[in-house]
């Protein structure tokens, strides 16, 4: 599933969320979905109003938190009704029909003569989620181009990124494997060329640590462009930044050693080198990146 197109993975998740909403809406006269945490004042006022009305008239009331997946699914489902507006809390359904707005609209309905009474007496509207195919077509990223100026989790990109997409990381690691294999192949005949390639790997790793897979970091930008449609799940970038920090230190420190090596093939470096064993370092990093690219541990 990790390599399943990201939109298709999203559809599976949103479809399950809509099923949960369907049960909550179709099984009750009034369903109220509120912001989790209990700190939304309009949600609290809505529930208080409905509980007062519940003591004066007979109707079934369903209260539930509107979690992330449910909210995203509803936004896709009612986007034509919302236009450019956002889906605000609380979300209210009366007899299966969504009440446009929230507390203010419910209060206005209740204050109008027999407004809430008529709404509760109306015929039921069946909450029917769209098919998975319709959901897929409705997803905003269905046809979008790769987003390079973007951090996973929809956070600012020009910063110390703490989140990334799993398959972007995988491809960055596999790019590293290719470059390190090339460096190893060149080390015997041209240690300087091998050291320069390793320096690039280290510099790219340093940029990954400081920013993340963004246009600032070449391998990350290329990986994002290539796997955007199958970018995978959002994951924490911190463990990988720690690993790549070690890459950066080793590969950058190896450059003076490689440049001072004998180009005739002896590969001997100055005894004062911080990282004299370039081939050993390249082999170690290549194996680690290969494991990272396959398993994303």
Q: Where are the domains of the chain?
A: 6-138, 163-295
pLDDT band at 7 (very low <50, low <70, confident <90, very high): low
Mean pLDDT of the chain: 86
In the chain, where do the E strands start and end? Answer: 30-34, 61-65, 91-94, 97-99, 163-165, 234-236
If one compares 219 and 276, the residue with the highest pLDDT of the two is 219
pLDDT band at 292 (very low <50, low <70, confident <90, very high): very high
- pTM score over 0.85: no
pLDDT at 242 over 90: yes
User: Which pair of structure tokens corresponds to residue 145?
Assistant: 């181009």
CATH number of 6-138: 3.40.30.10
pLDDT band at 115 (very low <50, low <70, confident <90, very high): very high
The percent of residues in the chain predicted with pLDDT above 70, rounded, is 86
pLDDT at 84 over 50: no
Distance (Å, whole) CA 48 – CA 184: 70
Distance (Å, whole) CA 271 – CA 117: 89
pLDDT band at 83 (very low <50, low <70, confident <90, very high): low
User: In this structure, are residues 35 and 66 in contact, taking their beta carbons and an 8 Å threshold?
Assistant: yes
User: Which pair of structure tokens corresponds to residue 254?
Assistant: 């190896």
Q: Which tens digits make up the pLDDT trace of 265-287?
A: 444 555 556 666 889 999 999 99
Handedness of CA 175, 178, 180, 186 (dihedral sign): negative
pLDDT band at 153 (very low <50, low <70, confident <90, very high): confident
Amino acid 284: pLDDT: 96
User: In this structure, are residues 194 and 282 in contact, taking their beta carbons and an 8 Å threshold?
Assistant: yes
pLDDT at 175 over 50: yes
């Amino acid at each position: 599933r990790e390599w399943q197109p990201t939109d298709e993975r999203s559809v599976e998740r949103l479809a399950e969320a809509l099923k949960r909403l369907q049960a909550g809406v179709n099984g009750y006269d009034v369903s109220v979905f509120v912001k989790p945490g209990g700190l939304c004042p309009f949600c609290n006022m809505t529930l208080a109003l409905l509980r007062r009305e519940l003591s004066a008239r007979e109707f079934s009331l369903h209260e539930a938190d509107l979690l992330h997946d449910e909210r995203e699914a509803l936004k896709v489902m009612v986007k034509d009704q919302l236009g450019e507006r956002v889906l605000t809390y609380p979300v209210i359904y009366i007899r299966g029909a969504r009440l446009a707005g929230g507390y203010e609209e419910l209060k206005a309905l209740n204050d109008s003569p027999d407004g809430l009474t008529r709404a509760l007496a109306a015929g039921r509207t069946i909450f029917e989620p769209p098919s998975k195919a319709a959901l897929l077509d409705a997803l905003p990223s269905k046809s979008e181009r790769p987003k390079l100026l973007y951090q996973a989790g929809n956070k600012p990109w020009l910063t110390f990124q703490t989140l990334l997409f799993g398959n972007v990381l995988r491809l960055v690691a596999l790019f590293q494997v290719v470059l390190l294999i090339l460096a190893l192949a060149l080390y015997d005949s041209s240690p300087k060329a091998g050291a320069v390639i390793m320096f690039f790997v280290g510099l790219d790793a340093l940029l990954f640590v400081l920013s993340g897979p963004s246009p600032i970091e070449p391998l990350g930008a290329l990986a994002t462009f290539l796997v955007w449609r199958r970018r995978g799940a959002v994951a924490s970038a911190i463990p990988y930044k720690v690993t790549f920090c070690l890459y950066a230190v080793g590969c950058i420190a190896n450059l003076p050693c490689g440049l001072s090596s004998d180009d005739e093939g002896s590969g001997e470096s100055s005894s004062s080198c911080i990282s004299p064993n370039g081939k050993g370092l390249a082999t170690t990093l290549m194996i680690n990146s290969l494991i990272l690219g396959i398993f994303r541990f």
